[in-house]
Amino acid sequence: EPEVTQTPSHQVTQMGQEVILRCVPISNHLYFYWYRQILGQKVEFLVSFYNNEISEKSEIFDDQFSVERPDGSNFTLKIRSTKLEDSAMYFCASLVAAEQYFGPGTRLTVT
């Protein structure tokens, strides 16, 4: 069964550093999303992406965040200057027929 993949599974970075989280959505899906989940809390929407542009973003998704689809398969989330409070699980998801398929997530730890 096709699945969303994410790399790395765990990223440790120092405050102020840039990180890029990578996702490979399911190949025939057209809508892509990033969510984050701070440990023990609910899943929070960050951004949605369609037709090579952002279709919606949350208030969490400020100027420090950006997304790209650099080629036909990868979908990336960049955090320019990480803060301690960016520590969380980051999930990529892609959509077909109203169902969002989530990747396994990247655990980001900012020290």
Partner 1 sequence: GQQVMQIPQYQHVQEGEDFTTYCNSSTTLSNIQWYKQRPGGHPVFLIQLVKSGEVKKQKRLTFQFGEAKKNSSLHITATQTTDVGTYFCAVPLSGNTGKLIFGQGTTLQVKP
Q: Which stretch binds partner 1 (CB under 8 A): 19-27, 34-42, 65-73, 75-83?
A: 34-42
Q: Work out whether 42 is an interface residue with partner 1 (CB under 8 A).
A: yes
Question: What pairs with residue 58 in β-bridges?
Answer: none
Measure CA 81 to chain center: 16
- Each residue 62-101 as x (binds partner 1 by CB under 8 A) or -, in order, gives -----------------------------x---x-xxxxx
CB of 12 to partner 1, least distance (A): 17
Tokens of 22: 């990578």
Give which of 13, 38, 15 is closest to 105, Cα–Cα: 38
Distance between CA atoms of residues 89 and 47, nearest Å:
15
Binding residues (CB under 8 A) for partner 1: these are: 31, 33, 35, 41-45, 48, 50, 55-56, 58, 91, 95, 97-105
